[in-house]
């Protein structure tokens, strides 16, 4: 049987590749556009293609994890992710690249819920809060350090190597997980495959309409059909989850106050995070004229703060309660985003970007670990896989919709005015996350098993 320390490192490494790839692509987008073409629309699809299947299938993966075993699901996800990463690196055109990103997101969906479920099974009490804090520092650090790694690889080699780098942590994790044994499969285990397809098609239709609307307009038949059709399918998916025998989204979970409130806060915070990363990486290169490496370095202060402080913040939240952290953190991040309004011409990173990034990073560090611990702590360990999956799906879906809408929000052009509008949108989303946490979160809530 694997030790808790080994379990923690497996969880960190398995999630690391999924989080890393969610952001490493941002700084590579201008290089991808120069080589393969497609403009802003293709850049949005490269990001959102990954997030669609990641967010939609994460619910399915959480159910599979609880029913068939966390280690098995991790192995499936790791192998699939590695194969898709190689396919992306070899993509000859935008279509193949986007298809490979869809596959990669599907594989990534099997990594994060299983990782967190392993932690909740191996740790308890204050040790669990600290372990989740450690997991958070590395995985969220991967989200932030991704642009730096991508930038270096883009400038020194090719954007294609930014995806091949995944093979290394995948190989190490597969070696570590070989000694992890799953409990026997539940004899009554059932998986709602139809629900998973409905969720994916619904989200796909909505996101297609949002991304392509600036090019075609809302009156275009394709936009109307996919947008309205996607929304209708997603509503039918939710209705199905109320009656199906083994739902991939147990709506009963949302009767737990800290769970549903924490997920609403997650929706606002992660929509802002995804939008901030997407816009900043592109504007610093195409608007401010920085190299890919320098654009990636812009987020380094956030990474350093996350690595140094997340574990400590997780431990403090476990002792004092998460409500204050989840309120103050997003508000501090909102201030940091608003400080990016200083960006202008002539451009100066040290005075216009660095102060805002330091404040943003401090707020992110205060927020993420308590947010994760609160949501998982609200639900009993027997449902930890699906609880983690729901939370991560909410964060990814929020991010993909935010990125999909950016073209309409900024008028289709990421110039200086568009960048400033994006900063204000990010700041407003973060402030909303802080207010929701203050009004809704209750400290020291007892974990509850919940009927579907």
List 448's β-bridge partners, or say none: 379
CB atoms closer than 10 angstroms to residue 157: 11
Give residue-wise pLDDT tens across range 14-40.
888 887 777 778 788 888 888 888 777
Mean pLDDT lowest among 174-188, 193-207, 270-284, 389-403: 174-188
Q: What CA–CA distance (Å, rounded) separates 340 from 95?
A: 34
Q: Is the peptide bond before 147 cis (omega within 30 degrees of 0)?
A: no
Residue predicted with more confidence, 413 or 272: 272
Return the pLDDT at 129.
67
Average pLDDT of the segment spanning 74-84: 91
Question: Looking at residue 381, what is its pLDDT?
Answer: 64
Q: Where are the beta strands (DSSP E) in 114-156?
A: none
Count Cα atoms within 13 angstroms, Cβ side, for 259: 25
Q: Which two tokens stand for residue 361?
A: 């990073």
Among 186, 243, 187, 193, CA closest to 452: 243
Say which residue, 73 or 98, is predicted with more confidence: 98
pLDDT in tens, 164-190: 888 888 999 898 888 777 655 555 667
CA distance 173 to 79: 10
**What would the 3-class secondary structure string for 25-45 be?**
HHHHHHHHHHHHCCHHHHHHH
Q: How many Cα atoms within 13 Å fall on the side-chain side of residue 69?
A: 12
What is the pLDDT averaged over residues 239-268? 88
Average pLDDT over residues 137-151: 73
Comparing 103 with 113, the larger pLDDT belongs to: 103
**What's the mean pLDDT in 325-352?**
94
Task: Note whether 430 and 274 are within 8 A (CB).
Answer: no
Contact (Cβ atoms closer than 8 angstroms) between residue 59 and residue 200: no
Q: Which two tokens mark 186?
A: 């539940």
Question: Over 90: is that where the pLDDT of 314 sits?
Answer: no
- Please report, for the chain, how many H helices and E strands are present, in that order: 18, 0
The arithmetic mean of pLDDT across residues 71-91, rounded, is: 90
Q: Which of 417, 163, 138, 419 is nearest to 276 (CA)?
A: 419
**Number of neighbours of residue 304 by Cβ within 10 angstroms:** 16
Q: Please name the residues in contact with 228: beta carbons below 8 A apart, sequence gap of 6 or more.
A: none
Spatial distance between the Cα atoms of 333 and 364, rounded to a whole number of angstroms: 6
pLDDT score for 447: 46
The pLDDT value recorded for residue 152 is 84
The confidence score (pLDDT) of residue 418 equals 86
d(CA 422, CA 420): 5
**159 touches 311 (CB < 8 A):** no
Residue 13 to residue 122: CA distance in whole angstroms: 16
C-alpha angle 212/218/223, rounded to 5°?
50
Q: What local confidence, expressed as pLDDT, does residue 446 receive?
A: 46
Do residues 402 and 274 make contact, with C-beta atoms less than 8 angstroms apart? yes
**Euclidean distance between the first and the last CA atom of the chain, given in angstroms as a whole number:** 31
Q: How far is CA 83 from the centre of its chain?
A: 21
Tell me the per-residue pLDDT of 241-252, one tens digit each, with 9 for 90 and over.
888 887 877 888
Q: What is the mean pLDDT of the chain?
A: 83
Contact 141, 15 (CB under 8 A): no
Model pLDDT for residues 284-313, shown as the tens digit of each residue: 888 888 888 888 788 778 878 877 887 788
pLDDT score recorded for residue 188: 61
**pLDDT value, residue 385:** 62
The answer to whether the beta carbons of residues 35 and 83 sit under 8 Å apart is no
Cα radius of gyration (the chain):
20
pTM exceeds cut of 0.95: no
């Amino acid at each position: 049987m694997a030790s808790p320390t080994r379990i923690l490192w497996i969880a960190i490494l398995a999630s690391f590749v999924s989080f890393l790839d969610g952001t490493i692509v941002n700084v590579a987008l201008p290089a991808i556009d120069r080589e393969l073409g497609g403009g802003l629309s293709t850049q949005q699809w490269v990001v959102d293609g990954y997030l669609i299947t990641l967010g939609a299938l994460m619910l399915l993966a959480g159910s599979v994890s609880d029913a068939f075993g966390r280690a098995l699901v991790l192995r499936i996800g790791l192998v699939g992710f590695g194969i898709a990463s190689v396919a992306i690196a070899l993509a000859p055109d935008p279509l193949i690249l986007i298809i490979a990103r869809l596959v990669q997101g599907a594989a990534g969906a099997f990594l994060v819920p299983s990782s967190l479920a392993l932690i909740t099974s191996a740790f308890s009490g204050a040790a669990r809060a600290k372990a989740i804090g450690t997991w958070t520092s590395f995985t969220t650090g991967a989200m932030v350090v991704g642009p730096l790694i991508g930038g270096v690889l883009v400038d020194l080699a090719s954007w294609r190597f930014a995806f091949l780098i995944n093979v290394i942590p995948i190989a190490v994790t597969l070696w570590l997980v070989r000694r992890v044994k799953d409990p026997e499969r539940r004899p009554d285990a059932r998986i709602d495959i139809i629900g998973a397809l409905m969720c994916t098609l619904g989200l796909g239709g909505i996101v297609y309409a949002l991304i392509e609307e600036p090019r075609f307009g809302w009156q275009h038949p394709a936009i109307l059909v996919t947008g309205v059709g996607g929304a209708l399918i997603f509503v039918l998916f939710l209705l199905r989850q109320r009656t199906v025998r083994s739902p991939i989204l147990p709506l009963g979970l949302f009767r737990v106050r800290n769970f549903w409130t924490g997920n609403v806060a997650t929706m606002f915070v992660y929509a802002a995070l995804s939008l901030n990363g997407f816009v900043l990486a592109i504007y610093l290169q195409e608007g401010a004229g920085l190299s890919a490496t320098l654009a990636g370095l812009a987020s380094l202060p956030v990474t350093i703060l996350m690595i140094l402080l997340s574990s400590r913040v997780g431990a403090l939240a476990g002792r004092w309660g998460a409500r204050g952290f989840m309120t103050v953190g997003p508000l501090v991040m909102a201030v940091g985003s608003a400080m990016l309004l200083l960006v202008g011409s002539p451009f100066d990173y040290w005075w216009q970007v660095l102060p805002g990034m330091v404040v943003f990073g401090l707020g992110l560090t205060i927020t993420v670990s308590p947010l994760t611990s609160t949501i998982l702590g609200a639900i009993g360990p027997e449902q930890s896989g699906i609880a983690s999956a729901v939370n991560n799906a909410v964060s990814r879906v929020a991010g993909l919709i935010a990125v999909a809408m950016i073209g309409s929000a900024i008028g289709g052009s990421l110039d200086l005015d568009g960048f400033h509008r994006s900063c204000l949108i990010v700041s407003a989303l973060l402030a909303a996350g802080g207010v929701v946490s203050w009004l809704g979160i209750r400290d020291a809530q007892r974990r509850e098993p919940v009927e579907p």
